[in-house]
């Protein structure tokens, strides 16, 4: 599997002919230096953890641009986000909710708990359901757990036991999610993964400026820490 991190919580997964974007926040993302067209090239699916603007990101224009080229890009999200996106003119929506699993074209997505909030901003805020983490499984590929935006919680261990992810994308930025030391504690005590990729940092000024505190807090632990450069692909 080829993975690209675009800064913040935005990821691209490439495997078995699929191109999956998770939380495609490109426009307005200070850590994103490429073009939206390049980041979304060939996209086949979009997965959303929750409804904040820095996670919904460019979902609507990406899907509409694909439709204009004759391609359908399904969006997987909770019921409230799907309702909102339907009002924005999208119709290839795969609605689900916490605890459920959906089978797509050659892979599955499971929605799991995250401790955060979810809603649309602006002058007329909209409730957009509960936040979530997402677990992506495909035959012959490592199971991926994108934790979404979250604090630590002990049921992370139960999620790990049930779904057996091998790779976790973990928010470390603090203020809106776990900070570096708490995120490292979550990895040590609950996640039981082989590889961890920090995210949700070094994008906006209130967040942790780099991943050094997280890396230091996991020194000596068996989990491999991968700190990618935004926009640079790596293989798992």
Q: Say whether 223 sits in a helix, a strand or coil.
A: coil
Query: In the structure, what pLDDT confidence band is assigned to residue 95 with cuts at 50, 70 and 90?
Result: very high
- Split into its structural domains, the chain has a count of 1
Q: Residue 20 above 80 pLDDT?
A: yes
> For residue 236, is it within any domain?
no
Q: Which residues face 75 on adjacent strands?
A: 46, 93
* pLDDT exceeds 80 at position 112: yes
- Report residue 134's pLDDT band, with 50, 70 and 90 as the boundaries: very high
Residue 10 lies in a domain: yes
Rounded CA-CA distance 169/149 in Å is 10
**Distance of alpha carbon 89 from alpha carbon 64, whole angstroms:** 8
- Please check whether residue 119 lies inside any domain of the structure: yes
Check pLDDT > 80 for residue 122.
Answer: no
Average pLDDT over residues 129-139: 98
pLDDT value for 176: 98
Structural domain that includes position 204: 2-228
Whether 153 maps to a domain, the answer reads yes
Cβ neighbours of 121 (radius 10 Å)? 11
| pLDDT of the residue at 162 | 98
Q: What is the pLDDT of residues 49-71, one digit of tens each?
A: 999 999 999 999 999 999 999 99
pTM, two decimal places: 0.98
Question: Quick check: is 45 in a domain?
Answer: yes
Integer Cα distance of 131 and 118 in angstroms: 6
> What is the helix (H) or strand (E) element at residue 189, kind and residue range?
none
pLDDT band of 120, cuts 50, 70, 90: confident
Angle at 172 between CA 115 and CA 45, to 5 degrees: 70
Mean pLDDT of 118-141: 92
pLDDT at 236: 94
**The pLDDT value given to residue 2:** 98
Say if residues 93 and 77 touch (Cβ distance below 8 Å): yes
pLDDT at residue 186 greater than cutoff 80: yes
Q: Is 60 within the bounds of a domain? A: yes
CB 5 within 8 A of CB 34: no
User: Which pLDDT does position 79 carry in this prediction?
Assistant: 97
Asked if residue 117 belongs to a domain, the reply is yes
Contact 204, 12 (CB under 8 A): no
Output the domain CATH number for residue 28: 3.60.15.10
* pLDDT tens-place string over residues 171-184: 999 999 999 999 99
Beta bridge partners of 2: 14, 235
Q: Identify the three-state secondary structure at position 135.
A: strand
Q: If you write DSSP's letter for every residue of 49-105 in order, what string do you get?
A: S--SHHHHTTHHHHHHHHHHTT----EEEEHHHHHHHHHTT---EEEE-TT-EEE-S
Residue 196 falls inside a structural domain:
yes
Q: Look up residue 215 and give its two tokens.
A: 């890396």
**Angle CA(58)–CA(111)–CA(48) in degrees, nearest 5?**
0
């Amino acid at each position: 599997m080829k993975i690209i991190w675009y800064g913040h919580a935005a990821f691209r997964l490439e495997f078995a002919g699929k191109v999956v974007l998770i939380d495609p926040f490109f426009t307005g993302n200070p850590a994103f230096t490429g073009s939206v067209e390049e980041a979304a090239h060939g996209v086949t699916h979009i997965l959303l953890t929750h409804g904040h603007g820095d996670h919904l990101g460019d979902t609507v224009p990406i899907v509409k641009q694909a439709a204009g080229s004759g391609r359908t890009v399904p969006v997987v999200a909770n019921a409230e986000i799907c309702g909102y996106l339907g009002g924005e003119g999208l119709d290839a929506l795969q609605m689900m909710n916490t605890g459920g699993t959906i089978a797509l074209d050659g892979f599955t997505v499971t929605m799991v708990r995250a401790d955060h909030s979810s809603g649309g901003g602006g002058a007329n805020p909209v409730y957009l359901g509960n936040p979530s983490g997402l677990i992506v499984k495909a035959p012959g590929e490592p199971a991926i757990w994108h934790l979404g935006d979250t604090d630590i919680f002990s049921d992370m261990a139960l999620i790990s036991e049930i779904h057996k992810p091998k790779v976790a994308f973990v928010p470390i930025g603090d203020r809106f999610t776990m900070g570096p030391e708490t995120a490292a504690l979550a990895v040590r005590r609950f996640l039981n993964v082989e590889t961890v990729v920090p995210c949700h940092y070094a994008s906006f000024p209130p967040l942790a400026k780099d991943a050094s505190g997280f890396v230091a807090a996991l020194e000596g632990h068996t989990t491999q820490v991968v700190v990618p450069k935004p926009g640079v692909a790596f293989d798992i």
